[in-house]
Structure 1
Amino acid sequence: MEQVNDESEPVDGLEWFGREVAAALEHKGATQRALAVATGYKEPYVSKVVNGKALASQHFADECDCFFNTPGSFGRLLVRVSERGNPGWFVPYVQLEKEAAEIEDYSTTFVMGLLQTPEYAEAVYRAGYPHQTDNEIKSRVDLRMHRREILEREAPPSLWVILNEAVLRTVVGDRGVMAGQLEHLAVMAAFPHVTVQVLTFGAGAPASSKSFNLLTQDDGARVLYSETAGRGFVNDSASDVRKWSDIYNRLRAAAESEARSLALIRSIMEEYAR
């Protein structure tokens, strides 16, 4: 694969990756169909990647490296594309998220990114970025969906999510979008590595009024991640991590059990579906 000059990199990361795949196909004298057969993906998927309409998966990037004999090149490019699609301050968190053995999340407004459906994520981004084009919004959604792959890998992280009831009651997009999102939550909660609890309004004042999460690595190292207006922070201060771990434990104790939480999610889902 040719070395990409930063000055010629497209602003759109999807276009960038697709352009490089197209160039490699031309250099090899191969067709998209041949690439589809070699990688085990369907031709429409390959076409979308080549035309900058879909973000490649890590597996597809690795298979491209095998097909084009470019060891690691497309894999590294995918990382750069993913970084480009996120604010600079968010990139360290994304990397920590990929490496985490355990993720504990408390959400007060929106469903956490790893559990969002494409439709819900699009509605979130359209509300937050009203002046962006459809392609820019789609690029953001694709990057968010790409992050979900860590939950589907062979050894996924343990994910514990506590949702304030307001997350379930706030209509993001429309009622159909919410019904689909809550159905997805119910499906994900059935996996052994995913736990979902709801902190109901009846639980009283929560131990925290803001969203945050804690990430634990294989070696036991823990970090705190939280966001303020327009910026996020990764904090590895031992005292801060202890403080927010205690807050998380209090939220967990105040939240409904897994079974009661799932029943509530399904009940609200049915309300949206009517």
Structure 2
Amino acid sequence: MANGGVFGQQRVGWGFFGTELKIRREGAGLTQQELGAKVFCSGSYIGQFEAGIRRPQPDIAKRIDVELGTDGYFTRVYEELIKGSPNADWFADVAYLEGLARAIQSYAPTFMPGLLQTPAYARAVFLAGCPFSSDDEIETWTAARLARQRLLEDPTRPLLWTVLDENVVRRPVGGAAVMREQLTRVLSLARKRRVMVQVLPYSAGAPSLESMLKLMTFDDAPPVAYTEGVMSGALLDDPAQVARCELTYDLVRAAALSPEASLALIESAAEGYAHEERT
């Protein structure tokens, strides 16, 4: 991609993977289409791997080793690059793609999206999910989450649009002071027109989505969708699946409050948390 992304070290690493793949593929006398057919993906995907635009899934890396006779070389490189990521294994690819995305759209049913979290809010989320972890572990995870927010330093890219379930605004994660600071940050980003925010109110009834969803689009690669469960996540790039996710997201967005009404609700909630602090 023309946009080099935020995570420079990771980009270089996957660029190395792609360069080596191209050298070995051409050495084997195979076109991208021919290798893609052998490892059960399209030739264009092989091209994206070679350009460093997209990471292969681990099973594809293993099949590449088999077809090119590279004795586990690409599998080992893949595993080393994944280990170099500060994020959970199932989220490493997502964090990488965020830095390359032209637009990121998300639906958050429970917690504020990681790209918008304050340090105190992030710590509270990690502590709630991992109450027996050490302070050092909590701080390491928090730092990794905050590092992803460097992409917000660009005033226009990526385009960010998030729909928050009203739960996210009303649930006092970390207490009143943490929530006031968190909602104030969201209001600030929205007023700077750095992110578009909508709230899906309780009055909308049953939501079209029951779990978080992130949609990412790129300048020169197909869109992807990401959903998350308990200690797991699924990165979807099948066009039919992504299209269904996009439709469902549109339904959620249509049921949400307008951006203006959403900010008014968030501001009211922030004032309520500020009042709690004073009493």
Could you list the per-position Cα deviations for residues 223-269 of structure 1 after superposition, in whole angstroms to 9, with x for gaps in the alignment?
Answer: 01011211111100111111110011111111011110000000001
Partner residue, 2:72 = none
Partner of 1:123: 124
TM-score (norm 1): 0.69
Supply the AA of the counterpart residue of 1:132: S
Segments of 4+ moved more than 6 angstroms: 79-82
Residue matched to 2:99: 98
TM-fit CA distance, 1:151 = 1.1
Q: 2:203 is matched with which residue?
A: 202
The answer to whether the 8 Å contact 1:83/1:91 transfers is no
Mapping of residues 11-160 of structure 1, within 5 Å: 83-153=84-154, 155-160=156-161
* Superposition map of 1:115-264 within 5 A: 115-153=116-154, 155-219=156-220, 221-264=222-265
Contact 1:157 1:193 in 2 (8 A): no
Q: Kindly provide the amino acid, as one letter, of the partner of residue 237 in structure 2.
A: D
| Pair 1:214–1:271, CA change in 2 (3 A) | same
Output the amino acid matched with 2:186.
Answer: L
Q: CA deviation at 1:220?
A: 5.6
- Deviation of 1:194 after TM superposition, in Å, equals 1.1
SS in 1 for 2:235: strand
Q: Percent identity?
A: 40
Q: 1:105 aligns to what SS in structure 2?
A: strand
Q: Distance in 2 between matches of 1:88 and 1:202?
A: 37
Distance 2:225 2:85 in 1: 23
Deviation at 1:80, TM superposition (A): 6.5
**What code does the residue aligned with 2:122 have?**
A
Residues 84 and 221 of structure 1: is their aligned pair in 2 closer, same or farther, counting only changes over 3 Å? closer
Q: Using the alignment, how far apart are the partners of 1:241 and 1:81 within structure 2? A: 24
Q: Shift in Å at residue 99 of structure 1?
A: 0.4
Contact 1:82-1:143 at 8 Å conserved across structures:
no
Q: Secondary structure at the match of 2:251?
A: helix
CA contact (8 A) 2:211 2:229 kept: no
Q: 1:195 to 1:155 in 2, by over 3 A?
A: closer
Mark the CA change 1:162 to 1:154 in structure 2 (over 3 Å): closer, same or farther.
closer
Scaled by the length of structure 2, the TM-score of the pair is 0.67
| Residue in structure 2 matched with residue 37 of structure 1 by the alignment | none
CA contact (8 A) 1:223 1:234 kept: yes
Q: Give 1:156 deviation, angstroms.
A: 2.0
Change (3 A) 1:123 1:155: same
How many matched pairs?
Answer: 196
**Equivalent residue, structure 2, for 1:60:** none
Give 1:136 deviation, angstroms. Answer: 1.1
> Can you give the 5+ residue segments of structure 2 that lack an aligned partner in the other structure?
1-79
For residue 99 of structure 1, give the secondary structure of its aligned residue in structure 2.
coil
Quick check: 2:82–2:92 contact (8 Å CA) kept in 1?
no
Q: Deviations over 1:16-44 (max 9, x none)?
A: xxxxxxxxxxxxxxxxxxxxxxxxxxxxx
1:123-176 superposed Cα distances (whole Å, 9 cap, x missing partner)? 000011111111111111111111000011265200000000011111111111
Cα distance per residue 1:63-119 (max 9 Å; x no partner): xxxxxxxxxxxxxxxx96994421222111111111000000000000000000000
